[in-house]
Amino acid sequence: MSTELKLSSPDLDELSAAVSGLGIQEKLLVECTEDFFSIIPELQKNLPDTFLWAPLIAGPDVWKGEIWKTSDESLHESVIGYMSYDHKRCDELYAEAEAAWNEGNPELAAEKLKSFDLGMKRHLGEEENILFPAFAEATGMVGGPVQVMLMEHDQMRGVLTQISEAMAANDMDTAIALGDTMVILMQQHNVKEEGILYPMIEQHIEGSMQEKIRSLQTYIAS
Ligand SMILES: [Fe+2]
Ligand SMILES: [Fe+2]
């Protein structure tokens, strides 16, 4: 179940009240004509470890994001759980884009592809800016599996750029077809992260996982 909240400006009180009222597994779709991502870190401080969020559209005319509560503690307490969930979330955004395109709804397809692009870029950023450096610091390991993942990130970013270019040229057929290529790359990549690298990260990095997930959730607001 999901509800919608349209903010006329980034109003922390209004957003806090709406998130507090969410039931478990309920999703709040937030929309604002200004950048409300900047108040998410404050919202986290107000309601620590009670919700998760993800950006969907980052301007320039509208900002959209989704906020939800979950009874699945692994999403707040395990890097494997949190990051694997985000893999699935990105997969679904692409599947929704493809479905909208097949159903003759190009506007929705384009919006979903933009959310897919944003979701993927922030996900790669969470790994490259927070998780991989923390792992390198804890283990002193700089080559190996992380190096392989980084090369695959470059490959995926290349396809995301091609998707954006096709969309800018109004060539949605090509954009959707490239999305299929992207899904194959992602599946091969994600299986290695979920099966090998994330467990290694969880085993080695310092500090609580809960804290790491809080910082990942703050990172995607920037
Ligand atoms: Fe990755
Ligand atoms: Fe990943």
What spacing in Å lies between the alpha carbon of 153 and ligand 1's midpoint?
6
**68 beta partners:** 27, 52
How many other β-carbons are positioned within 10 Å of the β-carbon of residue 10? 18
Q: What is the mean pLDDT of residues 201-218?
A: 93
Domains and CATH numbers, the chain: 2-68 (3.30.110), 74-217 (1.20.120.520)
Which segments of 24-165 are extended strands (E)? 27-32, 52-58, 63-68
What spacing in Å lies between the alpha carbon of 87 and ligand 2's midpoint?
6
Q: What is the mean pLDDT of residues 174-184?
A: 96
What spacing in Å lies between the alpha carbon of 176 and ligand 2's midpoint?
21
What spacing in Å lies between the alpha carbon of 120 and ligand 1's midpoint?
9
pLDDT score recorded for residue 142: 79
Mean pLDDT of the chain: 95
Side chain identity, residue 130: I
Q: Is 132 left (phi over 0), alpha (psi -120 to 50) or beta?
A: alpha
What spacing in Å lies between the alpha carbon of 64 and ligand 1's midpoint?
24
* Contact status, residue 15 vs residue 43, Cβ threshold 8 Å: yes
What spacing in Å lies between the alpha carbon of 15 and ligand 1's midpoint?
31
* Residue 108 three-state SS: helix
Pair of tokens at residue 198: 């994330």
* Contact status, residue 52 vs residue 70, Cβ threshold 8 Å: yes
DSSP state of 193: I
Which segments of 59-134 are extended strands (E)? 63-68
Segment (H or E) for 5: strand 2-7
- 109/99 Cα distance (integer angstroms): 8
Task: For 77-93, write each residue's pLDDT tens digit.
Answer: 999 999 999 999 999 99
Q: Which ligand is nearest to the CA of 156?
A: 1
What spacing in Å lies between the alpha carbon of 119 and ligand 1's midpoint?
12
- 111/95 Cα distance (integer angstroms): 12
- 67/58 Cα distance (integer angstroms): 15
Residue 110: is its pLDDT beyond 90? yes
Residue 9: is its pLDDT beyond 90? yes
pLDDT score recorded for residue 76: 87
Q: Helix, strand, coil: what percent of the chain each, to 5?
A: 70, 10, 20
pLDDT band at 34 (very low <50, low <70, confident <90, very high): very high
Q: What is the mean pLDDT of residues 45-50?
A: 92
Q: What is the mean pLDDT of residues 139-165?
A: 95
DSSP character string of 78-132: -HHHHHHHHHHHHHHHHHHHHHHHHTT-HHHHHHHHHHHHHHHHHHHHHIIIIIH
